[in-house]
Amino acid sequence: MIKIKPFKGYRPKIGLEDKIACKPYDIIDFEEAVDLGSSNPLSFVHVIRGEIDTPLGTDPYSHEVYKKSRENFDSFVDKGYLLEEDKEVFYIYRQVMNGRVQNGIVGTISIDDYGEGKIKKHEYTRYEKEIDRINHFDALDAHTEPVFLFHKGDEGLRDTIENWTKENDAIYDFVSEDGVRQMLWAIDDDKAIENIKEAFASMDNLYIADGHHRTESSYKIGLRRREKFPDYTGEEEFNYFMSVIFSSDELLILPYNRIIEDLNGLTRKEFISKVNERFSIVEIKSLREPSNRGEIIMAFKDGSYKLMPREGSFDKEDKIASLDVSILQNNILSPILGIDDPRSDSRIEFVGGEDMLNTITARLGEDMEVGFLLYHTSTEDIMDISNENKVMPPKSTWFEPKLMSGLFIHKF
């Protein structure tokens, strides 16, 4: 049973939504954040990346940065850029990319469901990143960005979404800079709200697609507030975290590819010889994505190869070991290239998104020596591994499109 609750969200004044909405904090680097902020004073980047409005060189994890984010948020509210709903609502958040549609329910999920393991995770979190979002949420008294969750699918929920979007106008309908159509409906009807609550109450689990650090940070913020207010009832807003929840069959997972700057002291001939011990190697005419699971494409600036793992190179009965990302890590990256921890090794970078082929080609011609293209992980893989309370290798998934920030905010 999943407990979901509507909330009195803050959202952009109609007509400002396309100016306020921006990409999430964790896929915008500092230079891009500065450019966005300097060119657009209404961009939500001023709230999620407050360091752009502090003196150059300010520690991005300092109290001054979180204070500035709070000041910017309060200013957006005071100036009427962000308005609070009149009542608690759910939202339907629709994204349309290249003709493909995904519909999410925006609501707040109980931190107890996460604490009890009903919100399944598939990644480890890093303490320093948790602390960043804890301090950010704490300073703003708000969840400024949602967690991206998914469920196995529910026909009743699908019907509610279809009926509401047919019978009601979207409050926002615009195309973001990445070419994705962004639409939002507010569900304020009591019966429809109850239908949504009942649909989630019938579910055993939800799964984190993206936002493991935001989830963990929200959970810890909730526990911290419970200590501060020991007479809490469980219904206070800090007991819930803001999420967008999609059906698994509507989601698109793109591969998360790897590029490495050197061959660990080996010549290319020596390196290929070692790879050949674990994979069959076939040269291909041009760089392309793998056509199916189990196939890995290895690329140099002047040639590409198809790799197929040899018998015995991995345990087929092990769900994690049989992932393509694990096969690559356990047979090439670690034993041959010496990259034991891809989270911390500076020699490896990760490339996702729709323009990954062009990015990889460009980098191999500049500062990287070899690249590996992987077949995408599936939502079934995530659910299977999460249900076993195990974690996937780092950088296993790249969900597209990304959720926009600034379209809805959950105040504690």
Specify the CATH number for the domain of residue 285: 3.30.1760
In terms of Cα–Cα distance, which of 296, 290, 256, 242 is closest to 397? 256
Same domain? For 236 and 352 the reply is: no
3-state helix, strand, coil in the chain (%, to 5): 35, 25, 40
For 365-375, give one letter per residue: b (16+ CB within 10 A) or e: eeebbbbbbbb
pLDDT digit string, tens, across residues 263-282: 999 999 999 999 999 999 99
Length of the chain as a residue count = 412
In a domain, 17, yes or no: yes
pLDDT digit string, tens, across residues 290-318: 999 999 999 999 999 999 999 988 888 89
The distance of Cα 342 from the centroid of its chain, to the nearest Å, equals 18
In a domain, 115, yes or no: yes
In a domain, 122, yes or no: yes
| Confidence tier at 126 by pLDDT (50, 70, 90) | confident
Count of C-beta atoms within a 10 Å radius of residue 39: 8
Mean pLDDT of all residues belonging to the chain:
94
Q: Which domain holds residue 70?
A: 4-253+401-411
At position 24, the amino acid (one-letter code) is P
| Confidence tier at 396 by pLDDT (50, 70, 90) | confident
Predicted pLDDT of residue 83: 98
Predicted pLDDT of residue 185: 98
Same domain? For 203 and 233 the reply is: yes
| Confidence tier at 118 by pLDDT (50, 70, 90) | very high
Percent of the chain with pLDDT over 70: 100
How far apart CA 169 and CA 150 sit, in angstroms, is 25
CA distances from 123 to 249, 260, 390, 394 (A): 21, 22, 8, 7
| Confidence tier at 26 by pLDDT (50, 70, 90) | confident
Q: 221 is written with which tokens?
A: 């913020």
How far apart CA 187 and CA 366 sit, in angstroms, is 50
9 CB-side CA count, 13 A: 28
pLDDT digit string, tens, across residues 87-111: 999 999 999 999 999 999 999 999 9
Q: Which helix (H) or strand (E) holds 216?
A: helix 212-228
Same domain? For 196 and 73 the reply is: yes
In a domain, 384, yes or no: no
Maximum CA extent, the chain: 68
Same domain? For 215 and 247 the reply is: yes
| Residue 189, φ and ψ in degrees, nearest 5 | -85, 130
Is residue 389 classed exposed, middle or buried when 0-12, 13-18 and 19+ CB atoms within 10 A define those classes? exposed
pLDDT digit string, tens, across residues 56-85: 999 999 999 999 999 999 999 999 999 999
How far apart CA 253 and CA 399 sit, in angstroms, is 5
Q: 18 is written with which tokens?
A: 């396309």
Same domain? For 233 and 287 the reply is: no
Same domain? For 13 and 93 the reply is: yes
How far apart CA 122 and CA 104 sit, in angstroms, is 20
Structural domains in the chain (count): 2
Predicted pLDDT of residue 254: 86
Same domain? For 260 and 248 the reply is: no
Same domain? For 26 and 160 the reply is: yes
Same domain? For 32 and 164 the reply is: yes
At position 19, the amino acid (one-letter code) is K
In a domain, 392, yes or no: no
Q: 10 is written with which tokens?
A: 């803050």
How far apart CA 334 and CA 258 sit, in angstroms, is 13
Percent of the chain with pLDDT over 90: 85
The torsion of the CA quartet 360, 361, 362, 367, rounded to 10 degrees, works out to: 70
| Confidence tier at 243 by pLDDT (50, 70, 90) | very high
In the predicted structure, residue 229 carries a pLDDT above the cut 80: yes
- Name the residue with tokens 């062009």: 358
Same domain? For 38 and 128 the reply is: yes
- Name the residue with tokens 């948020």: 73
- What are the beta bridge partners of residue 303? 300
Q: Give the helix ranges, DSSP H, for 25-120.
A: 30-39, 45-48, 63-78, 111-115
Residues 6+ apart with CB under 8 A from 17: 11, 172, 174, 182, 184, 407
Determine the straight-line distance between the first and last CA of the chain, rounded to whole angstroms: 23
* β strands within 302-367, DSSP E: 303-309, 348-351
Residues 6+ apart with CB under 8 A from 53: 37, 46, 68, 72
Predicted pLDDT of residue 206: 97
Same domain? For 248 and 336 the reply is: no
pLDDT digit string, tens, across residues 319-360: 899 999 999 999 999 999 999 998 889 999 999 877 889 999
In a domain, 395, yes or no: no
In a domain, 385, yes or no: no
In the predicted structure, residue 53 carries a pLDDT above the cut 80: yes
In a domain, 388, yes or no: no
Same domain? For 198 and 279 the reply is: no
